[in-house]
Structure 1
């Protein structure tokens, strides 16, 4: 199948560009590595949303006040977003197995502490450490795949599986949270990570190859790491406050300004002063990476907020309960998985760029359809029909973007590229949600008025996906692909 080439040789000539695959040799061993990486990624993505349905139970059990309750969600999201770039680079410098095990241990241990927490402060602190573990773990899962599977059909299939699992984790969070909270206790939304994490830790050491000392002689870019963490964290926090405080709030304005200033300083430091940059500037000289991450930013601005507005539509317009809302997401989950698993075959016939164009256009049509839903549309027309179209496009879209932005990269920069892609998607989701909440803020009280408000948000998502189509046309084309 065709794979996108970088625009120049700067990536393949980078340190580690020999693509030395030190992964396990047998098909069974590589399948086990894939399963391990996917299990870790599933936990990371699941815990972004799994607490949402359980928030009322958590509030009653631990005595949270309304203002403090949001930090059960925000503590994870802010730390996760803030440390993604750093987490990606750690794997390059200190070894993928070492960093994977560290992230998995932090995530599992903090899940145990959070599940047993007896005070609001302890739960919020545990969620913050969970976010740190996730920021270290998420880039490592993708880096392990891109350094275990050589570029070509095998890697594309592995990335498609990773994408399908990520989609399933994001969509299943509300359902799993509802089932565990109603059948057992809210504590199990965190405690369930403990046996899974323990099994993954036990499997990681024999399965993952030993680490080379790639970081020897190189120091972590501490100024860059600090600026990136502060910048992304402050920007994400400021965006999260727009809905509750408004754009004119001093808190919102200060956080957004601090985020922009820190990220601007980060770009300057990385380009001019850092001897071993957190994000090597040479990565952006490849059009597949610079344009591909822009496309991922726009896609994240649609697909992450999608769950938020669909949940509101089901609960506030159709008056579904928490468990029924979770079940209502099943079509999105199943179709998204089928789309992700189908992506490698479609890419084999038409190439990555055309798949991005086709799938973005398909998702745009689905969002346009969803924007027309009313309280009287019914399940088939108001939810199931749009779900099939938008989720098929979403499932097809992420795999070729991920393959594009990780192609042609030397092993020494694989973690940085993975961290950049994860951070781009997360920032896109945060910015997109803030913008779309403002677009949907019509002050509606009735089901019909709320449906109109949410419809504007879905219409805006369709417009952003049209921009994804335009961005995809700027990616390297068929002449720059090489046959496999």
Structure 2
């Protein structure tokens, strides 16, 4: 086989690897929202209370958020291909268990198992992408696709969830993962390369794992509890205090551990730190769009679940378009220091625009324009941030560095869930208290309640808009200039080529010895 043919074959194989990884990432990301649409139907079928309903969502987020760093490190230790396949099979099995659930307890247990295997699968998928695509031009295209999926997965989940729930059954929101996983496992067996370890087998940082897993669990649980039981509840503030103590202890331990779970140099690297913060901001701000705009469309304007899902399609199209243009044209030319702040400002403007929505708004004239602008913004932020977050990382730490991307997004979403819901609830209560006295008929009282909900959504949009604006300033200050990014990219490419050459020499030596 000629060198040219071998290079073309390797390139084709890499794109099939991308398709496999993208499918797995889509499965994990959309599962965070696809089940939300199915909750009312599942509640009616299994007969659990409104108070228990939150645990179907929380069980997943607790396991997923608290175990992400461990999952990323495990993929570094046992090999990314093996971890990827284990994650796919485990996620599919947990999804099948949830789809067949005949009780509330079984459904919650299945969701927790989904979170556990998702915590292994998500960082492994990104690590496979990071170590597979090292040629700068190919890397840009690959991360454009991956970033688009990371940003649009939630909206796809709303669309798919509405369709499956309305035309089939809520159980198919879970069963569908089995089909995704079968295709992805076949692709992984054929196309995902087996990473070879050189040198002694690395060890797992057990104290660090316990500290960070406990800290992240307490953090996610504390904010989830605040959403339902308030900030004064014992379990809310005690868990948040415990989280702070455990995470500080984790950082101190990482400074002295022989085999740290998360070497601090990964996070303290200027570009990677800026990328993690950007993903955190994006994950937090997007919650305002997916949750409150969904509520607005269904409860205020009366859209059906599937119509609500379809309403997000233009945003997805704009996100994909911006992701491809950004990673292939604009990021190589201007770098994340320019692109990410621009995306943040666009997102801030889109959310500010949404504060103009009211009970008489129409989709085409009032909702579609800011929704499309939000898609363009997320397509500008996410691919550039994710690509930079994993750029130049030593491949022995690719898994845990990738896990930090997912951790940033998950923690950002958990925090914004609690904060924005609290602010919205307070705004709704205050509006009703101020205006209910003049409503003397049931119709007038219903009108006050409907307007109160819209005013509450406006508070969420303004807060998220301000958060994105602060993120724009942060990104502009922290990201390095384009020249530094290019130097790191070419150094990473040279290192990857050296690793591949070492692997080829090792294979040749083994064949000769055999």
Paired with 1:261 and 1:74, the residues of 2 have a C-alpha distance of 22
Q: Does 1:403 align with 2:387?
A: yes
Matches within 5 A, 1:17-166: 26-150=10-134, 152-166=136-150
TM-score (norm 2): 0.86
Partner of 1:448: 451
Paired with 1:24 and 1:110, the residues of 2 have a C-alpha distance of 38
TM-score (norm 1): 0.91
Partner of 2:484: 480
Candidates 253, 261, 275, aligned match of 1:278 = 261
Structure 1 stretches of at least 4 aligned residues deviating more than 6 Å after TM superposition? none
Deviation of 1:397 after TM superposition, in Å, equals 0.8
Q: CA RMSD in A?
A: 1.8
Deviation of 1:240 after TM superposition, in Å, equals 0.9
Q: Which has the higher contact order (CA 8 A, sep 6+)?
A: 1
Distance 1:192 1:426, change over 3 A: same
Deviation of 1:478 after TM superposition, in Å, equals 3.1
Partner of 2:474: 471
Matches within 5 A, 1:162-201: 162-201=146-185
Deviation of 1:97 after TM superposition, in Å, equals 0.4
Paired with 2:372 and 2:225, the residues of 1 have a C-alpha distance of 33
Deviation of 1:279 after TM superposition, in Å, equals 0.7
Paired with 1:219 and 1:410, the residues of 2 have a C-alpha distance of 16
Partner of 2:465: 462
Paired with 2:481 and 2:333, the residues of 1 have a C-alpha distance of 14
Matches within 5 A, 1:334-483: 334-344=317-327, 345-441=329-425, 442=427, 443=429, 444=431, 446-473=449-476, 474-482=478-486
Distance 1:179 1:214, change over 3 A: farther
Bigger radius of gyration among the two: 2
Partner of 1:255: 239
1:24/1:207 contact within 8 Å kept: no
Larger mean CA deviation between 77-86 and 305-314 belongs to: 305-314
**What is the SS of the residue equivalent to 2:114?**
helix
Paired with 1:121 and 1:481, the residues of 2 have a C-alpha distance of 49
Distance 1:24 1:304, change over 3 A: farther
Deviation of 1:25 after TM superposition, in Å, equals 5.2
**Where do 5+ consecutive residues of structure 2 fail to align?**
1-6, 432-447, 491-514
Partner of 2:213: 229
1:93/1:215 contact within 8 Å kept: no
Per-residue CA deviation, residues 27-85 of structure 1 (Å, 9 max, x unaligned), is 22111100000000000011111111111211122221222222111111111111111
1:367/1:458 contact within 8 Å kept: yes
Number of matched residues? 461
Deviation of 1:448 after TM superposition, in Å, equals 2.2
Deviation of 1:179 after TM superposition, in Å, equals 1.1
Deviation of 1:458 after TM superposition, in Å, equals 0.8
Paired with 1:415 and 1:388, the residues of 2 have a C-alpha distance of 33
**Where do 5+ consecutive residues of structure 1 fail to align?**
1-22
Deviation of 1:466 after TM superposition, in Å, equals 1.1
Partner of 1:290: 273
Candidates 197, 204, 207, aligned match of 1:220 = 204
Paired with 1:73 and 1:481, the residues of 2 have a C-alpha distance of 38
Partner of 1:7: none
Paired with 1:393 and 1:431, the residues of 2 have a C-alpha distance of 21
Paired with 2:67 and 2:218, the residues of 1 have a C-alpha distance of 12
1:71/1:124 contact within 8 Å kept: yes
Distance 1:25 1:286, change over 3 A: farther
Per-residue CA deviation, residues 282-329 of structure 1 (Å, 9 max, x unaligned), is 213421112222222222210234211111221232222322222222
